[in-house]
């Protein structure tokens, strides 16, 4: 069994709850889909926990790229202050190591990427969009694409029949459900299952409040309400 974890965002209680649940499902291997540290109170701890897993394959998210290229961060005070804070905690060596991760990987007939095959920013939506999907899937030979970035868990097919799977966010869901989200791939049956796991949201929010940086209040609102537009 393969567990698929995206968008941990430095939320240690959510990560630990997901890993416990994944092991109960029989997961022995892990694909890690990017955005490991930013916006959470435990940036280094989350990377350390993920490094301790026995069999992992990592890809880079937009935040790993932004941590190494601060000039690429959009002109937004919350994003820029969050990036500065997480960079100061990760340190130059870990920032560079995470930025050097590959942007995508292929396992069997499944392509894993952060937002879409050619971009770590431009995402697939929950609702079908035949024209937009075709543009994002241009050149893709695999029959399944797994991606994250939007923090919204869903599973659907494109008009061309490619399976599209967003496991959701481990550490910062934005689909109205505060529970941590991830997916598993049964490689024998070649089927993906989506999961939600309860964790201590209050503890994650309180840890952010103690940091007291400009970005933490908005992040707390988004965490507690599980919506991007909450703050």
**Model-level pTM greater than 0.85?**
yes
CB 231 within 8 A of CB 222: yes
Q: What is the pLDDT of residues 97-156, one digit of tens each?
A: 999 999 999 999 999 999 999 999 999 999 999 999 999 999 999 999 999 999 999 999
3-class secondary structure, 45: helix
> Per the structure, how many domains does the chain have?
1
Domain CATH number, residue 221 = 3.60.21.10
Predicted confidence band of residue 189 (pLDDT cuts 50, 70, 90): confident
Copy the structure tokens of residue 69: 């290229």
The rounded distance, in Å, linking the Cα atoms of 137 and 135 is: 5
The rounded distance, in Å, linking the Cα atoms of 45 and 81 is: 20
pLDDT at 231 over 70: no
Average pLDDT along the chain: 96
Range of the domain at 226: 2-230
Segment 3-23 shows an average pLDDT of 98
Copy the structure tokens of residue 101: 């991760």
Segment 69-80 shows an average pLDDT of 94
Q: What is the pLDDT of residues 25-48, one digit of tens each?
A: 999 999 999 999 999 999 999 999
């Amino acid at each position: 069994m393969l567990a698929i974890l995206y968008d941990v965002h430095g939320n240690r209680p959510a990560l630990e709850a997901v890993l416990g649940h994944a092991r109960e499902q029989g997961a022995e291997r892990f694909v890690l889909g990017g955005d490991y540290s930013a916006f959470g109170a435990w940036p280094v701890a989350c990377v350390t926990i993920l490094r301790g897993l026995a069999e992992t394959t990592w890809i880079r998210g937009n935040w790993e790229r932004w941590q190494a290229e601060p000039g690429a961060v959009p002109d937004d005070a919350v994003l820029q202050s969050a990036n500065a804070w997480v960079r100061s905690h990760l340190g130059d060596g870990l920032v560079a190591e995470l930025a050097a991760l590959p942007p995508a990987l292929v396992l069997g007939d499944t392509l894993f990427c952060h937002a879409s095959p050619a971009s770590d920013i431009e995402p697939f939506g929950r609702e079908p969009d035949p024209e937009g999907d075709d543009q994002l899937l241009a050149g893709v030979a695999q029959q399944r694409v797994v991606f994250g970035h939007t923090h919204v868990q869903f599973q659907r097919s494109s008009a061309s029949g490619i399976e599209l799977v967003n496991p959701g966010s481990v550490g910062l869901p934005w689909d109205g459900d505060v529970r941590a989200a991830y997916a598993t791939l049964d490689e024998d049956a070649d089927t993906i299952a989506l999961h939600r796991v309860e964790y201590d949201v209050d503890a994650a929010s309180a840890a952010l409040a103690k940091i007291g940086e400009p970005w933490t209040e908005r992040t707390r609102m988004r965490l507690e309400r599980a919506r991007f537009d909450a703050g």
